Chains A and B, each alone.
Chain A
Amino acid sequence: MTKLVTGIIQPHRLDDVKSALEAFGVRGMTVSEASGYGRQRGHTEVYRGAEYTVDLVPKVRIEVLVADEDAASVTKVIVGAAQTGKIGDGKVWVVPVEDVARVRTGEHGIDAL
């Protein structure tokens, strides 16, 4: 079976996380720009004297499909590479995936990874 590992990380940690995952043997991933906040909350911006609170700060979402037995290790790799120790470093979570299909070949499950 397969699992989906999703990490929300600081944008400037992406290169290190990507390299670490490649070194671990992950062959593909999906990366998207995301906005959000946790304990970090947002910041304020002032335009011509009008002050705005910007709750949502830029983050990067990285998604990796892995075999069940790799999920814990991949999580560890992402956490290790993304960590700066400051508030706002993000989260990583794992969810089970019922099925995966490779579009090019129609393969399913583990074969499709």
Chain B
Amino acid sequence: MEIDAGLTAWMLVSASFVLLMTPGLALFYGGMVRGKSVLNMMMMSFGAMGLVGVIYILWGWSMSYGSQSVGGFFANPFEQFGLGGGGVFAEDGSAVVADGLPIIVDVGFQATFAIITVALISGAIADRAKFGTWMVFSGLWVTFAFFPMAHMVWGGGLLSDEGPFASIATPVDFAGGTVVHINAGMAALVLALVVGKRKGFGREPMRPHNLPLVMLGAALLWFGWFGFNAGSAYGADGLAGLAWVNTSTAASAGILGWLMTEKLRDGHATSLGAASGVVAGLVAITPAAGALSPVGAAVLGLVAGAVSALAVGLKYRFGYDDSLDVVGVHLVAGLVGTLLIGLLATDGGLLYGGSVNLLVVQALIALVAVALSGAVTLVIALALKATMGWRISEDAEVGGIDLAVHREGAYETIGGRVVDSRTSLAPSPAPAGASAPAVAERTTTEVK
């Protein structure tokens, strides 16, 4: 089949955009934690980039988009293991092309979605989780929660237009409201509950240590989201253009919705609110980017910004430490976007002369996503709690997870010196042990 050069070029660019979102997320999250844990926060994103990026080409693609579906839940992970099996490359080694696009380009595009979805969850467990446990969780969760959801919604599985709900109305998830945001948001809620609260949650101030980083991260997310949503049009065409405009409009309206809510409730429009509003608007438009008019996108963004601004307070009321509001932003705005498609879709939405069927189907796929993600995450999280354990020691948490787990600090402190005598020009005045008791005492009690 002929390669469509315009489409292929756009998809390669889109994949690159989406990959950039994860470092953007690392900045967005990193600025929101305290200075003593910013590196760990960012490392959870980079850890996901490392592990999921490899897993995806091994069995991720095969489980999501392989042709051997297991009950519509997931596809056979071994069919195209390592991108073999003839689905991506033909026997002569040439790239298989479908609808003008080499499949290998789609592999790259889809891998970036898996990476960011896992990274999103990390915001729920800031400051306190063992890095090793997080990494194992990442591998298990992407395998048992993400790939199945991708298969069900986009790979022709249970929640797709070939699934059982399609007889009521065709479910709409343009770029990942269920697969990415409800999935990650629900996992975040479960993980926050299993891992438990940070020491001092709700009593000690845990203010964002660097809001300019948060805003830079939000800007990169916004930029990357054009690849996420407009790329999901799978065309360099008018639908991609519509998705682009809807995406940006919803982000803009998200800022307005969040800031107006804050101004009325707290008296001030904050920079953290603006950055959060961007993300809430983008999350909500993700499932809807190709199904709404730009005016509908503005309404959706506004609602998502306002509702998420209210929802981030829930964790204090119910006492779960979803540290960076993955639930309040991704789960809630993901639900808002997925459900409001039932009202605002220009084709079949209730406000556009459609029946209630689309709304019902949207509610059903949202519910299935919540239930599946919740159940799978709970099993993985509890298994890891019983085996590896989730929490670093209390001393390490109070002293800062960056130093305890990564043996690094983000910001310069005075008093360091070179230990290796081969690289040090100054003669060492005392044996190494004599001058380092303060560090040594701390570190021996930390990592257990």
- A48 near B: Cβ within 8 Å? yes
Contact with B along A38-49 (1 / 0, CB 8 A): 000000011111
Which residue from B268, B276, B316, B328 sits with its C-beta under 8 Å from A46?
Answer: B268
* In contact, A48 and B312 (Cβ under 8 angstroms): yes
A48: min CB distance to chain B, Å: 5
CA distance A45 to B206 in the complex (A): 12
Determine if B205 and A48 form an interchain contact, defined as CB atoms under 8 angstroms apart: no
Q: In the complex, which of the residues B265, B267, B272, B328 contacts A47, with contact meaning CB atoms closer than 8 Å?
A: B272
Q: Which range contains the number of B residues in contact with the other chain?
A: 10 to 19
> Which residues of the other chain, B, contact A54 by a CB distance below 8 angstroms?
205
CB-CB under 8 A from B328, the residues of chain A are 48
- Closest A-chain residue to B267, C-beta based? A46
Contact between B312 and A46, CB atoms less than 8 A apart:
no
Q: Is the CB of A46 within 8 A of B266?
A: yes
By a CB distance below 8 angstroms, the chain B residues around A49 are 265-266, 309, 312-313, 316
Q: Which residue of A lies closest to B314 (CB)?
A: A49
Chain B residues lying within 8 Å of A50, measured Cβ to Cβ, are: 313, 316
Residues 284-330 (chain B) with a chain A CB within 8 angstroms: 309, 312-313, 316, 325, 328
| 0 or 1 for each of B362-403: is its CB under 8 Å from A? (1 = yes) | 000000000000000000000000000000000000000000
Contact of B270 with A by CB under 8 A: yes
Q: Which residues of B contact A45 (CB under 8 A)?
A: 207
User: How far is it, in angstroms, between the C-alpha of A70 and the C-alpha of B262 when the chains are bound?
Assistant: 53
Residue B208, interface by CB 8 Å: yes
> In the complex, which residues 248-289 of chain B have their Cβ closer than 8 Å to any Cβ of chain A?
262, 265-268, 270, 272-273, 276
CB of B414, distance to nearest CB on chain A (Å):
14
Given known contacts A52-B205, A52-B207, A47 and B316 CB-to-CB distance under 8 angstroms: no
Query: In this complex, what residue of A is CB-closest to B206?
Result: A50
Establish whether residues B270 and A47, one from each chain, have CB atoms under 8 Å apart when the complex forms.
yes
C-alpha gap A58/B236 in the complex (Å): 53
A48 near B207: Cβ-Cβ < 8 Å = no
Q: When the two chains form the complex, which single residue of A48, A51, A52 contacts B272, counting CB atoms closer than 8 Å? A: A48
Q: How distant is A52 from chain B, measured CB to nearest CB, in Å?
A: 5
CB atoms of A47 and B268 under 8 A apart = no
The answer to whether B208 and A47 have CB atoms under 8 Å apart is: yes
- Nearest chain-A residue to B202 (Cβ)? A50
Chain B residue at smallest Cβ distance from A55: B205
Chain B residues with CB under 8 A of A48:
272-273, 276, 309, 312-313, 325, 328
Residues in chain B near residue A52, CB distance under 8 A: 205, 207
CA of A50 to CA of B273, assembled, Å: 12
Taking CB atoms, residues of chain A closer than 8 Å to B267 are: 46
B276 neighbours in A (Cβ, 8 Å): 48
**Chain A residues within 8 Å of B207, by CB:** 45, 47, 52
The complex places the Cα of A47 from the Cα of B276 at a distance, in Å, of 11
- The A49-75 residues at the B interface (CB cut-off 8 A) are 49-52, 54
* CB closest chain-A residue, reference B261: A49
Q: How far, in whole Å, are A52 and B325 apart by their CA atoms in the complex? A: 17
Contacts of A51 in B (CB 8 A): 266
A-B contact pairs, 10 of them (CB 8 A): A45-B207, A46-B268, A46-B270, A47-B207, A48-B273, A48-B276, A48-B325, A49-B309, A49-B313, A50-B316
| A contacts, CB < 8 Å to B | 45-52, 54
Q: A47-B270, A48-B273, A49-B266 are in contact. List 17 more A-B contacts (CB 8 A).
A: A45-B207, A46-B262, A46-B267, A47-B208, A48-B272, A48-B312, A48-B313, A48-B328, A49-B265, A49-B309, A49-B312, A49-B313, A50-B313, A50-B316, A51-B266, A52-B205, A52-B207
> Which residues from chain B sit less than 8 Å from chain A, CB to CB?
205, 207-208, 262, 265-268, 270, 272-273, 276, 309, 312-313, 316, 325, 328
| 10 pairs of A and B residues whose beta carbons are closest in the complex | A49-B313, A46-B266, A48-B312, A52-B205, A49-B312, A47-B272, A47-B207, A52-B207, A47-B208, A48-B325
